[in-house]
């Protein structure tokens, strides 16, 4: 699950292939995004809150317009379930999953900017430090790896 940057919407991922938007003040479901063909594992809001990225067992990262619910892009050059996503800025997102490969995607055209084999097990978490421009990757085998985006 992930809160929008302004805290006004909570997005939740589900094994029923959907993403639900909730009003955190009332606890009521506001809307639903449908498009994945399998379980959704990860969600991440763009820094400006206008887009939501989702990732899942269908080996895709999907970029949604948060206001309209329209599917904007499908990033599908992954070779396993995608379990972690992280926005770097409004123009780049990272993904990782069962194939143990870190990928960087350009949002403007969906192009894959790089692939990095982590040489470990499946990627379960990603974090980015904007101060030193390093990505930290948590793997299922307990290792944490780091790479520079400079």
User: Domains (ranges, CATH) in the chain?
Assistant: 2-148 (2.130.10.10)
Q: What is the pTM of this model?
A: 0.93
Separation of alpha carbons 42 and 55, rounded Å: 5
Separation of alpha carbons 48 and 35, rounded Å: 23
The tens place of each residue's pLDDT in the chain, 150 residues long, gives 999 999 999 999 999 999 999 999 999 999 999 999 999 999 999 999 999 999 999 999 999 999 999 999 999 887 899 999 999 998 999 999 999 999 999 999 999 999 999 888 999 999 999 999 999 999 999 999 998 987
- Report which DSSP code applies to 38: S
At residue 45, the pLDDT reads 97
At residue 98, the pLDDT reads 95
At residue 31, the pLDDT reads 97
């Amino acid at each position: 699950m992930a809160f929008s940057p302004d805290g006004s919407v909570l997005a939740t991922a589900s094994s029923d292939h959907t993403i639900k938007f909730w009003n955190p003040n009332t606890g009521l479901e506001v809307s639903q995004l449908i498009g994945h063909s399998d379980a959704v594992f990860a969600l991440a809001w763009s820094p400006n809150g206008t887009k939501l990225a989702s990732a899942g067992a269908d080996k895709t990262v999907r970029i949604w317009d948060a206001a309209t619910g329209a599917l904007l892009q499908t990033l599908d050059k992954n070779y396993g379930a995608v379990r972690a996503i992280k926005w770097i800025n409004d123009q780049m997102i990272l993904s990782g999953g069962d194939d143990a490969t870190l990928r960087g995607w350009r949002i403007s055209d969906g192009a894959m900017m790089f692939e990095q084999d982590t040489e470990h097990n499946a990627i379960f978490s990603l974090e980015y430090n904007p101060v030193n421009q390093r990505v930290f990757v948590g793997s299922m085998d307990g290792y944490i790896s780091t790479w520079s985006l400079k």
